[in-house]
């Protein structure tokens, strides 16, 4: 995938995220209480242990792994409920996605893990790839998959390519719009071509999951939303989870991935490496309380609210800028657990709000290397699992798109006393965007 194609693909996905979040805000289904931070910018000095704490919303998660009749993993989807417990998101992961995300000396595709080590190891590796904790996990065959989408009826799927499968002399379905029964849709998700990169089939798989989301429409079924400050109960199994997911609007999206370089794939396995920054961009918006913080460093929330006129000269949208900031934080091995992209007032200078006053000097001394010019303040409210809230200002646009400096590294002593993100969830303090 070329750089320009990758950018176009990323822009499409992040625009979808922004669009979905905007629509969800209108429906009261927002993922993070961003509005609760607007009044916490005065910079009043308060000790960290006396700050009022805001919880990230509880958004239960589920994993569906799809296998063909030979037991080979062919499709993977993470489901996330909206904070009010009805509707949500479907995030499609590549079946041959590398659970190590390109780190380390070897690659470990999910499909190989499932075949060699079984469903329990597959579930652990899927969590590692997505970077979130999962509440409900089920591996389904074609018959079970058809059963769980039967309540939706026939699906209208826009197939990007012909659907081919081992043993079929002709395509199962031609590229273009097609109406599929639940059984036919399952056959698309279980199609496999031995000897070809499995990732070539991912666009058709995404087409099916997108059709599932679109078929839900405004919602079907009888599940009811929970109140604004009531945690969503974790569904006991996949059927209960889908009962809630189908009861409200659903959005589906894929994630960027690319094949590793030959020297980074010593066993030459069929594998692709998902874009870690994009995974954080997506899950940091729809499931922030479930996002892991694996590095012994500060945990960040990134907020952007750029308007189109702010970004005319850099050919980007607000989510693109958040993605760029995430890549920089990953470069210095920091943690990103929450992301907000919304409309609103943009500061001229990037603002940092630090929950623990003892870490203000650490942020002031080191993170201008990451964000450029910035102003650092003590926070007046703490968000569970978040050490620093970064509100990107116009000053950050001077950094946007530039390669990080090769000497962009932070001193190791700054990571010795930092906290770890809470991935167990919490109550929603107030509705907002995120």
Task: Annotate 50-97 with DSSP letters as a single string.
Answer: GS-EEPPP---EEEEEEE-TTS-EEEEEEEEE-TTSS-EEEEEE-TTB
Do the beta carbons of residue 108 and residue 98 sit within 8 Å? Answer: yes
Cα(201)–Cα(347) distance, rounded to whole angstroms?
43
User: Distance between alpha carbon 32 and the CA centroid of its chain, in Å?
Assistant: 14
In terms of Cα–Cα distance, which of 431, 432, 317 is closest to 16?
A: 317
User: Distance between alpha carbon 187 and the CA centroid of its chain, in Å?
Assistant: 27
How does pLDDT run across 308-330, given as a tens digit for each residue? 888 988 889 999 999 999 999 99
Specify the pTM: 0.84
Cα(356)–Cα(45) distance, rounded to whole angstroms?
10
Q: 3-state secondary structure string, 174-233? A: CCEEEEECHHHHHHHHCCCCCCCCHHHHHHHHHHHHHHHHHHHCCCCCCCCCCCCCCCCC
Rounded to 5 degrees, φ, ψ at 93 are -105, 150
User: Distance between alpha carbon 218 and the CA centroid of its chain, in Å?
Assistant: 22
pLDDT of residue 403: 72
pLDDT of residue 410: 56
pLDDT of residue 45: 37
pLDDT of residue 405: 52
Cα(417)–Cα(422) distance, rounded to whole angstroms?
16
3-class SS shares of the chain: helix, strand, coil, % to 5: 35, 20, 45
Token pair, residue 253, equals 């999206």
**Tokens 């949208």 appear where?**
317
pLDDT of residue 348: 96
Do the beta carbons of residue 84 and residue 413 sit within 8 Å? Answer: no
Token pair, residue 364, equals 């002031």
Q: DSSP E strands: which ranges in 94-203?
A: 136-140, 155-159, 176-180
Rounded to 5 degrees, φ, ψ at 97 are -65, 140
Determine the Cα angle at 56 with ends 51 and 62, to 5°. 155
Report H helices in 221-376.
238-245, 276-286, 318-331, 360-366, 368-371
Domain spans of the chain, in order of start: 31-55+287-415, 61-277
Query: What letter would DSSP give residue 81?
Result: E
Q: What is the DSSP string of 414-426?
A: GGSS------S--
- The tens-digit pLDDT sequence of the chain (434 residues) is 333 344 434 443 443 433 333 333 222 222 222 322 222 333 333 344 578 888 898 899 999 999 999 999 999 999 999 999 999 999 999 999 999 999 999 999 999 999 999 999 999 999 999 999 999 999 999 999 999 999 999 999 999 999 999 878 789 999 999 999 999 999 999 999 999 999 999 999 999 999 999 999 999 998 999 988 888 999 999 999 999 999 999 999 999 999 999 999 999 999 999 999 999 999 999 999 999 999 999 999 999 999 988 898 888 999 999 999 999 999 999 999 999 998 889 999 999 999 999 999 999 999 999 999 999 999 999 999 999 999 999 999 998 987 765 445 555 444 433 333 333 333 233 323 34
In terms of Cα–Cα distance, which of 271, 340, 346 is closest to 95?
A: 271
Sort strands 88-93 and 73-81 into parallel, antiparallel or unpaired: antiparallel
Residues in the chain: 434
Q: 61-277: which CATH number, 2.40.110.20, 3.30.565.10, 3.40.630.190, 3.40.50.1220?
A: 3.40.630.190
Do the beta carbons of residue 337 and residue 386 sit within 8 Å? Answer: yes
Helix (H) / strand (E) containing 67: strand 61-67
In terms of Cα–Cα distance, which of 284, 236, 285, 234 is closest to 61?
A: 234
């Amino acid at each position: 995938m070329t750089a320009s194609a990758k950018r176009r693909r990323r822009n499409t996905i992040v625009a979808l995220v922004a669009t979905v979040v905007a629509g969800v805000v209108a429906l009261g289904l927002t993922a993070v209480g961003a509005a609760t931070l607007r009044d916490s910018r005065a910079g009043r000095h308060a000790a960290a242990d006396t700050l009022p704490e805001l919880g990230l919303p509880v958004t239960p998660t589920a994993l569906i792994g799809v296998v063909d009749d030979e037991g080979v993993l062919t499709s993977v989807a993470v489901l996330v409920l909206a904070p009010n417990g009805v509707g949500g998101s479907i995030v499609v992961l590549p079946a041959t996605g590398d659970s190590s995300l390109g780190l380390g000396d070897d690659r470990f595709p999910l499909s190989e893990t499932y075949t060699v080590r079984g469903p329990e190891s597959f579930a652990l590796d899927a969590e590692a790839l997505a970077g979130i904790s999962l509440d409900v996990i089920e591996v389904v065959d074609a018959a079970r998959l058809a059963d769980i989408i039967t309540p939706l009826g026939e699906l209208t799927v826009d197939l990007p390519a012909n659907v081919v499968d081992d043993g079929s002399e002709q395509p199962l379905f031609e590229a273009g719009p097609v109406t599929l029964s639940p059984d036919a849709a399952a056959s698309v998700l279980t199609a496999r071509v031995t000897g070809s990169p499995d990732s070539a089939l991912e666009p058709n798989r995404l087409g099916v999951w997108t059709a599932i989301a679109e078929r839900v429409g405004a919602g079907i079924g009888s599940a009811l939303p929970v109140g604004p400050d009531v945690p969503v109960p974790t569904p006991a199994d996949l059927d209960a989870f889908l009962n809630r997911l189908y009861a409200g609007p659903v959005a589906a999206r894929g994630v960027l991935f690319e094949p590793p370089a030959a020297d980074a794939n010593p066993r030459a396995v069929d594998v692709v490496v998902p874009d870690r920054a994009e995974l954080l961009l997506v899950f940091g918006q729809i499931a922030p309380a479930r996002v892991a913080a694996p590095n012994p460093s500060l945990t960040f929330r990134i907020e952007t609210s750029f308007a189109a006129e702010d970004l005319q000269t850099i050919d980007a949208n607000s989510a693109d800028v958040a993605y760029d900031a995430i890549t920089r934080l990953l470069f210095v091995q920091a943690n990103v657990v929450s992301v907000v992209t919304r409309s609103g007032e943009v500061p001229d200078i990037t603002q940092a709000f630090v929950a623990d006053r003892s870490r203000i000097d650490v942020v002031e001394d080191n993170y201008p290397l990451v964000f450029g010019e910035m102003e650092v303040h003590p926070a007046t409210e703490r968000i569970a699992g978040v050490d620093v809230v970064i509100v990107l200002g116009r000053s950050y646009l001077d950094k946007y798109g530039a390669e990080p400096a090769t000497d962009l590294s932070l001193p190791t002593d700054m990571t010795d006393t930092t906290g770890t993100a809470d991935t167990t969830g919490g109550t929603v303090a107030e509705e907002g965007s995120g």
